[in-house]
C-alpha cells in the first residue's frame, strides 16, 4: 500500500497544513462537489472501464475512445492483472439502454516510465487495444486529441466527465456526470502555495477553487474547448489527499499533448 494512504500521514498533513500528497481518485471518498448529469451521449468518446469479478463486471475507471480499436486511460487504472472490458455508448451504467457496445481488451500498453510508487513522477497514461473495432454512430465517436505540445492558457474552459461518487461514502453515480473545471496554468499550479514541485510540465491542472467540481473516475477525459470544439487535453490522474475541492489543490491530469508521439507510436 502506498505510503500516502496512511491515515497518520494524512492527519499530520492536515494538522500541519503542509503540502498534501497526490492521491488517486479511487481512494478519495468524496468524488463529486457540484457537477450535473450530462446530456445523454453528449460526450460520445467517454467509456466505462470495467473489471471481471466472479461472473460480473464492475465499473472502475473512465477513458476515451481515440481510435476505433484504441482507448486511452490512466496507467494506475490498469497496472494490475485483471480481465477488462470497455463499454462504449453508455449513459446509465446500471441499465442496459441498447446503445452500448461491449468490447473485451486484447492488450494493455502502460507507459514504460510509469511508476505506481511515484504518482507525482508523471507518465500516468495507458492505451487499451480492443478486441474488435468500435462502430461509430451518434452515440459512439472518437475523441479529438490536441496537437503535440499544445498548452492551454489559464482559465481555458474544460469539463471533467465520469461516473464518480455523488457523496462521501456513497454509491457511484449511475448516470454520466460532468463538472466545469477551468484550466490552472502551470506557473500558478506549481507555485508553492498550490501544488508546488508535485506538478510537472507534463501535467495539466484544472479547478482548485471552492466552487469547482471534482468528479469523474480516474482515467477519464478532461474535455477542453479550443476554437469552438472539444478535445481531450487531460487524463484524470490524482487529487489532493485532503479532498477533491481543496482550495489551491486542483485536480491533476496527464497532459495528453505531451504524449502524442508515444500514442501514435503505439496505435499507428
Other CB atoms within 10 A of residue 266 CB:
17
To the query of whether residue 79 is one of the catalytic residues in this protein, the response is no
DSSP state of 77: H
Q: Which residues of 111-145 are buried (b: 16+ CB within 10 A; e: fewer)?
A: beebeeeebbebbbbbbbbbeeebeeeebbbbbeb
Of the candidates 59, 76, 91, 111, the residue annotated as catalytic is: 76
Residue 224's contacts (CB-CB under 8 Å, 6 or more residues apart) are 146, 152, 156, 157, 158, 159, 183, 230, 231, 232, 233, 234
Let me know: does 106 contact 131? Beta carbons within 8 Å. yes
Annotated active-site residue 91? The verdict is: no
76 counts as catalytic: yes
C-alpha cell of 24? 488517486
Catalytic residue among 173, 218, 237, 257: 218
**Which residue in the list 111, 124, 212, 233 is annotated as catalytic?**
124
Catalytic residue set: 76, 124, 218
Amino acid at each position: 500500500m502506498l505510503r500516502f494512504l496512511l491515515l497518520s500521514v494524512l492527519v499530520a498533513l492536515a494538522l500541519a497544513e503542509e503540502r498534501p500528497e497526490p492521491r488517486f481518485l479511487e481512494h478519495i471518498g468524496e468524488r463529486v462537489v457540484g457537477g450535473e448529469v450530462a446530456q445523454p451521449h453528449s460526450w460520445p468518446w467517454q467509456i466505462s472501464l470495467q473489471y471481471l469479478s466472479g461472473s460480473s463486471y464492475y465499473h472502475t475507471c473512465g477513458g476515451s475512445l481515440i481510435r476505433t480499436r484504441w482507448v486511452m486511460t490512466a496507467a494506475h487504472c490498469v497496472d494490475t492483472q485483471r480481465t477488462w472490458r470497455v463499454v462504449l455508448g453508455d449513459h446509465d451504467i446500471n441499465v442496459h439502454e441498447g446503445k452500448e457496445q461491449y468490447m473485451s481488451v486484447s492488450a494493455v500498453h502502460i507507459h514504460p516510465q510509469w511508476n505506481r510508487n511515484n504518482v507525482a513522477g508523471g507518465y500516468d497514461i495507458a492505451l487499451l487495444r480492443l478486441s474488435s473495432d468500435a462502430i461509430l454512430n451518434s452515440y459512439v465517436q472518437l475523441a479529438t486529441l490536441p496537437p503535440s505540445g499544445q498548452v492551454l492558457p489559464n482559465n481555458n474552459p474544460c469539463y471533467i466527465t465520469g461516473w464518480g461518487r455523488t457523496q462521501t461514502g456513497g454509491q457511484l453515480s449511475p448516470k454520466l456526470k460532468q463538472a466545469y473545471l477551468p484550466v490552472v496554468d502551470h506557473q500558478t499550479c506549481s507555485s508553492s502555495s498550490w501544488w508546488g514541485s508535485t506538478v510537472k510540465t507534463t501535467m495539466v491542472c484544472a479547478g482548485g477553487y471552492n466552487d469547482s467540481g471534482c468528479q469523474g473516475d480516474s482515467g477519464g477525459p478532461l474535455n477542453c474547448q479550443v476554437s469552438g470544439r472539444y478535445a481531450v487535453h487531460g487524463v484524470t490522474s490524482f487529487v489532493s489527499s485532503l479532498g477533491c475541492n481543496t482550495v489551491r489543490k486542483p485536480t491533476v491530469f496527464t497532459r495528453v499533448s505531451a504524449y502524442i508521439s508515444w500514442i501514435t507510436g503505439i496505435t499507428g
